[in-house]
C-alpha cells in the first residue's frame, strides 16, 4: 500500500503493536479532548495564498541555533521509543542525520545518551527531565555535556504524573507486569514480540544506573519516585548556570512564562502541551503561539509541537510565529507501521507536503513565509 499521508500510518501501527504499546503512543490525558483540540486547531487555521509568484525553485533550508538545517523540523523526545518498534530510536536518529534535521533523545529513552551522541552527532539534541534526585540531574547534565550535545530541552510540563485513562486501564505503568492480558497481546502480535525479544526488552538505560538496586522492580520504583513537583524558576536558574550551551524550556503555553524564561537567559522555548498527554483542558499550541510571539519579540527562538501531522501543519506553525517544529506521534506512527524504514518515509512525506503547500500559497523559502506570516483566523 502507498502511504499518502501520516494518517495512513496510524491504523497499520495499531494492528502491529500490542494494545498497551499502541495506547501508550496514541493516548492522551483524561477525555483526550486535548489531542482532538490540537488537531482541530490546525485544521481551523487557514493560509492566505498569493498567486502569480514564480515558485519554481523552493527551498526548506533554515538556519536555527547557529546552524543550517535542511528543513525547519526535527523529532520530539519520546520516552521508551524502542517499545514502539525495536531499535526505533536508532533508526529515527539515523534518518534525521541523513535528512539533515535534528533528533531529540528523551531522558527515559531506551538508548543511552552516549550511544545516541555517536549516532546523531551534531544533529542530536538532549531532553532532560528534572527528577527528585539532584545527583542524578547533575550527573545527566555532565554526561550530556561530555557526550557533546549542544542543545538541551528541559521539559517542565510534567509537575505531576498525568492521568492517561488508557494506560491506567491497561495497567501500563512504570511497574509494568506480565499479566495474562499482556501475555495475550504479546502472543497475538508475534512480529513485534519476536523482534522486541531479539533486540532485548527496552529499558530506561539513562536512568536505571541511578537506582539503588538493579532489577526491573527497584528500577521502576526509583523512576516513579523521581517525578517531583518541586522544580521551579529558581531551579531553572540554577540549571541555566550549570549548562552553558543552548538551553530550551519545553512545555510553556503562556506569554508570561515564555517572557520569564527568556529573561532568565534561556535560549528558546518549546510551546507545547505535551501532545495532549498531561491534561485535556490545555489550549492548543497553535492558538496561543501568536500572543507568545508578540510578547517575546521577533528574534527569540520559538519551537512548537503538539498536533503536527502534516507538512501543511508545519507551514501553518511557521506562518503563525514558530521558528521550528517538533514531530511527536507522526514519526512514531510511521516507525510502528513500517519498522526501521518508516522514519525516512515520514520525513520525505512531510517534506513533500511542505514543498507543495509553499508552492500553493506562493512562497519559495522559509524566511519569506515567516516574514509575511500569511495566516487567516476564523472568528
Ligand atoms: C509516546 C510518547 C512519549 C513521550 N515522551 C516524552 C518524553 O520522554 N519527554 C518529553 O519531553 N516529551 C515526551 N513526549 C511529548 C513529545 O515530546 C511531544 O511534546 C508531543 O508528542 C507532541 O505532540 P504530537 O505527538 O501531537 O506531535 C512524548 C510523547 C509521546 C507520544
Per the structure, the count of domains in the chain is 1
Domain contains 79: yes
Kindly indicate the confidence band of residue 53, based on its pLDDT and cuts at 50, 70 and 90. Answer: very high
| pLDDT confidence of residue 21 | 96
* CATH number of the domain where residue 235 is located: 3.20.20.70
Domain contains 378: no
Report the C-alpha gap between 64 and 301 in whole angstroms.
8
Report the C-alpha gap between 293 and 273 in whole angstroms.
16
| pLDDT confidence of residue 294 | 98
Q: Which three cell numbers stand for residue 116?
A: 545516541
Domain contains 58: no
Report the C-alpha gap between 278 and 163 in whole angstroms.
7
Tell me which DSSP letter residue 105 carries.
E
Choosing from 7, 36, 110, 275 the residue with most ligand 1 atoms within 8 A of its CB, the one to mutate for a pocket test is 275
Domain contains 76: yes
Ligand 1 mean position to 327 CA, how many Å? 9
Ligand 1 mean position to 257 CA, how many Å? 20
Report the C-alpha gap between 324 and 304 in whole angstroms.
6
Cα atoms found within 13 Å of the Cα of residue 181, Cβ hemisphere only:
9
Three-state DSSP class for residue 68: strand
148 Cβ closer than 6 Å to some ligand 1 atom? no
Residue 274 appears among annotated catalytic residues: yes
Domain contains 99: yes
Residue closest to 79 by CA, chosen among 131, 141, 121: 131
25 Cβ closer than 6 Å to some ligand 1 atom? yes
306 Cβ closer than 6 Å to some ligand 1 atom? yes
Ligand 1 mean position to 40 CA, how many Å? 18
Ligand 1 mean position to 34 CA, how many Å? 13
Query: What is the mean pLDDT of the segment spanning 331-353?
Result: 98
Report the C-alpha gap between 326 and 120 in whole angstroms.
16
Choosing from 25, 79, 269 the residue with most ligand 1 atoms within 8 A of its CB, the one to mutate for a pocket test is 79
Q: Kindly give the number of the ligand 1 atom that is closest to the alpha carbon of 155.
A: 11
Domain contains 254: yes
Choosing from 88, 277, 286 the residue with most ligand 1 atoms within 8 A of its CB, the one to mutate for a pocket test is 277
- Ligand 1 atom 3 nearest Cα: 78
| pLDDT confidence of residue 179 | 85
Residue 131 has pLDDT above 60, yes or no: yes
Sign of CA dihedral 23, 25, 30, 32: negative
β-pairing, 46-47 vs 324-327, is: unpaired
pLDDT averaged over every residue in the chain:
95
Report the C-alpha gap between 316 and 354 in whole angstroms.
10
Span 67-87, pLDDT tens digits: 999 999 999 999 999 999 999
Kindly indicate the confidence band of residue 212, based on its pLDDT and cuts at 50, 70 and 90. Answer: confident
Ligand 1 mean position to 276 CA, how many Å? 9
Kindly indicate the confidence band of residue 378, based on its pLDDT and cuts at 50, 70 and 90. Answer: low
Domain contains 288: yes
Domain contains 56: no
77 Cβ closer than 6 Å to some ligand 1 atom? yes
Span 148-202, pLDDT tens digits: 999 999 999 999 999 999 999 998 876 667 788 888 899 899 999 988 888 888 8
**Segments forming the whole domain that contains residue 154:** 6-50+63-373
| pLDDT confidence of residue 175 | 66
79 Cβ closer than 6 Å to some ligand 1 atom? yes
More confident position, 170 or 228? 170
Q: Which three cell numbers stand for residue 356?
A: 507543495
Query: What is the mean pLDDT of the segment spanning 353-367?
Result: 98
| pLDDT confidence of residue 379 | 54
pTM over 0.95: yes
| pLDDT confidence of residue 226 | 85
Amino acid at each position: 500500500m502507498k502511504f499518502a499521508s501520516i494518517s495512513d500510518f496510524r491504523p497499520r501501527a495499531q494492528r502491529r503493536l500490542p494494545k498497551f504499546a499502541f495506547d501508550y503512543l496514541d493516548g492522551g490525558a483524561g477525555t483526550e479532548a486535548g489531542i482532538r483540540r490540537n488537531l482541530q486547531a490546525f485544521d481551523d487555521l487557514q493560509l492566505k495564498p498569493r498567486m502569480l509568484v514564480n515558485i519554481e525553485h523552493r527551498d526548506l533550508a533554515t538556519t536555527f541555533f547557529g546552524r543550517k538545517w535542511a528543513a525547519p523540523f526535527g523529532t520530539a523526545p519520546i520516552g521508551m521509543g524502542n517499545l514502539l518498534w525495536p531499535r526505533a530510536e536508532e533508526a529515527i536518529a539515523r534518518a534525521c542525520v541523513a535528512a539533515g534535521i535534528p533528533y531529540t533523545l528523551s531522558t527515559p529513552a531506551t538508548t543511552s545518551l552516549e550511544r545516541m551522541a555517536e549516532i546523531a552527532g551534531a544533529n542530536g539534541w538532549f531532553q532532560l527531565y528534572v527528577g527528585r534526585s539532584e545527583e542524578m540531574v547533575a550527573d545527566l547534565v555532565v554526561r550530556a555535556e561530555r557526550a557533546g550535545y549542544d542543545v538541551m530541552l528541559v521539559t517542565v510540563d510534567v509537575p505531576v504524573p498525568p492521568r492517561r485513562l488508557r494506560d491506567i486501564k491497561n495497567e501500563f505503568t512504570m511497574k509494568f507486569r506480565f499479566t495474562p492480558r499482556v501475555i495475550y497481546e504479546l502472543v497475538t502480535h508475534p512480529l513485534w514480540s519476536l523482534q522486541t525479544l531479539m533486540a532485548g526488552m527496552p529499558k530506561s538505560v539513562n536512568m536505571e544506573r541511578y537506582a539503588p538496586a538493579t532489577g526491573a522492580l527497584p528500577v521502576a520504583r526509583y523512576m516513579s519516585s523521581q517525578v517531583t513537583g518541586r522544580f521551579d524558576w529558581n531551579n531553572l536558574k540554577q540549571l541555566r548556570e550549570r549548562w552553558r550551551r543552548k538551553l530550551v524550556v519545553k512545555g510553556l503555553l503562556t506569554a508570561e512564562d515564555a517572557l520569564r524564561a527568556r529573561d532568565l537567559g534561556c535560549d528558546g522555548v518549546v510551546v507545547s502541551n505535551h501532545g495532549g498527554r498531561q491534561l485535556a483542558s490545555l489550549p492548543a499550541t497553535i492558538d496561543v503561539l501568536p500572543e507568545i510571539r508578540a510578547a517575546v519579540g521577533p528574534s527569540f527562538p520559538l519551537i512548537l509541537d503538539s498536533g503536527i501531522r502534516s507538512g501543511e501543519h508545519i507551514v501553518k506553525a511557521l506562518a503563525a510565529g514558530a521558528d521550528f517544529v517538533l514531530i511527536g506521534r507522526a514519526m512514531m506512527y510511521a516507525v510502528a507501521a513500517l519498522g526501521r524504514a518508516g522514519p525516512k518515509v515520514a520525513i520525505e512525506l512531510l517534506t513533500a507536503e511542505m514543498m507543495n503547500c509553499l508552492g500553493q500559497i506562493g512562497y519559495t523559502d522559509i524566511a519569506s513565509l515567516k516574514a509575511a506570516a500569511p495566516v487567516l483566523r476564523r472568528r
